Chain A
Amino acid sequence: MSPPSLVLLLAVGAVVGLDLVAVPQAMLARPLVAGFLGGAVAGRPLVGLTIGALLELFAFETLPVGAARYPDWGPAACAAGALAALRGGWDGTWMVGVMVVALLAAWLGGVTMHLERRLNAAQVRRREAAIESGDPRALAALQLGGMARDAARAALLTAFTFLVGERVARAVEAGWRAPRALADVAVIGTALGVAAWSAWRLYGQRPSRRWLAAGAVAGIAVLGAIAL
């Protein structure tokens, strides 16, 4: 990837990272969108969408609730989308390498967000007197500082995922000796497995359980009709 494209990728990664919590929570941070955008930067948005859709299955588990520590999928999916696009299409062995690094980066995203919140708190303590006196400039400075830290955090995560992911994916693809189907089945099994578990956790109680099952049956029926 050329340096200008890499800079653009980091900028897009920063935007999707900002979106998760800081601004504007418009779901640009969802893997489906971030993967597509990362793929677009690398010239193949639809290939980026492929890995974005797979990571979206993992993200079903994430409920971004208040003080909980949850993974940050945006920067990881953005870089993963670009890596998939650079590969040019689906390859299970390449995907396994990228996925492992993307999952690690999403987890790291949660850890770094926790650290960022502590940095925010330190800044708030520093301006406590101004806040308690109702100074609007103190509030604006804190908001801007929070956004700047979040953007920097997300750009670093994007860089990490892209640079480490590319090395890992290349090494795995070159050194892979097992049947390639193992990689395909592992990727599908884990992604769909997490999504199935998350669906059960969210909708496994009555009466939602019936709707979940009805949806699966309807999906099978539609796909069967299309196949015929």
Chain B
Amino acid sequence: MTKTSIPGFGLAVARLFTIQAAWTYERMLGIGFGFVAEPMLRGLRRNGDSQAYRGAVARQSRFFNAHPYFASLAVGAAVRAELDGVQPERIERLRSALAGPLGSLGDRLIWAGWLPACAAIALMLVALSAGAWAVVAFLVLYNVTHVWLRVWGLKAGFRSGIGVAGALSAPGLQRALELVTPVAAFLVGGALVSVLAWIPVRARWETAAGAAAALLFAAAVRAIQPRATGMVVAGGVLAAVLVVGVLW
């Protein structure tokens, strides 16, 4: 089956963007997984076998958890396995086996790598007075990768079926994993300095005092981990400053 002849592929791609819409603690991405897979499973119904189609939809709607972008790889593989008539037990084992690696891959590559890298670039652009272009650059840069990953995952999963593990060891993906962390670290380091110089305060000494306060604050948050997040501590500090400022 060539990629252009994948039944329901376009609708499944559109539905991929909603894969987390009915997220629950019991099934996690399960309902969304089934919803995405359903158009590609219609081939089973067209063969006059409604029972096989419904059984496949129900199976694909059970518990599943992974990174939302990389879940497309599992959807493609599971659908291919269903269409190839693989035994249901093997398909369920395939879904279970993919959940952990796909979650870990997405967390490292996207949440801890690509997203901070793109945000850092945007912050540097803001600091360089790029204005609205910083927002445009962020959205375009991030989403080119995001959309490509979803579509690639669905195609690669469908191509590979039960042997989808091979797609995870693709050289390009492994190289991206090696590169993304150092690149993101470098960009974030640069962004923090750039932002400090950009914040529009009245006097230069305020910037220096802000930097010193930031280092103290970061050290304090580090010391109290994991009892409170930085955001909660920051909220408390700002609320205290607010009270002090009014009662002075």
On whether the beta carbons of B190 and A97 are closer than 8 Å, the reply is no
CA A145 – CA B139 in complex, angstroms? 27
Residues from chain B with Cβ under 8 Å of A107 in the complex? 231-232, 235
On whether the beta carbons of B31 and A215 are closer than 8 Å, the reply is no
If the complex has contacts A190-B234, A212-B189, are A223 and B194 also in contact, measured as CB distance less than 8 A? Answer: yes
Interface string of A29-72 (1 = CB under 8 A from B): 01011001000000001100110011011111111111100010
Give chain A interface residues in 138-187, CB to chain B under 8 Å: 139-140, 142-147, 150, 171-172, 175-178, 180-187
If the complex has contacts A33-B135, A211-B185, are A190 and B21 also in contact, measured as CB distance less than 8 A? Answer: no
CA A180 – CA B124 in complex, angstroms? 27
If the complex has contacts A172-B245, A194-B230, are A187 and B238 also in contact, measured as CB distance less than 8 A? Answer: yes
On whether the beta carbons of B244 and A182 are closer than 8 Å, the reply is yes
Residues from chain A with Cβ under 8 Å of B142 in the complex? 26-27
Cβ of B20 within 8 Å of any chain A Cβ, yes or no, is: yes
On whether the beta carbons of B35 and A139 are closer than 8 Å, the reply is yes
Residues from chain B with Cβ under 8 Å of A89 in the complex? 200
On whether the beta carbons of B234 and A191 are closer than 8 Å, the reply is yes
Give chain B interface residues in 136-175, CB to chain A under 8 Å: 138-139, 142-143, 146
Interface size class of A (residues with CB under 8 A): 35 or more
Cβ of A99 within 8 Å of any chain B Cβ, yes or no, is: yes
If the complex has contacts A184-B201, A185-B206, A192-B210, are A27 and B68 also in contact, measured as CB distance less than 8 A? Answer: no
Interface string of B169-196 (1 = CB under 8 A from A): 0000000000001111111111111111
Cβ of A7 within 8 Å of any chain B Cβ, yes or no, is: no
Residues from chain B with Cβ under 8 Å of A177 in the complex? 245-248
* Shortest Cβ gap from A11 to chain B (Å): 18
CA A222 – CA B184 in complex, angstroms? 18
CA A147 – CA B203 in complex, angstroms? 46
CA A189 – CA B132 in complex, angstroms? 25
On whether the beta carbons of A103 and B210 are closer than 8 Å, the reply is no
On whether the beta carbons of B213 and A193 are closer than 8 Å, the reply is yes
Residues from chain A with Cβ under 8 Å of B222 in the complex? 197, 200
Q: List 16 A-B contacts (CB under 8 A).
A: A26-B139, A27-B138, A53-B195, A57-B195, A67-B28, A90-B201, A124-B27, A139-B61, A142-B35, A172-B245, A186-B237, A188-B199, A195-B195, A195-B214, A196-B214, A219-B192
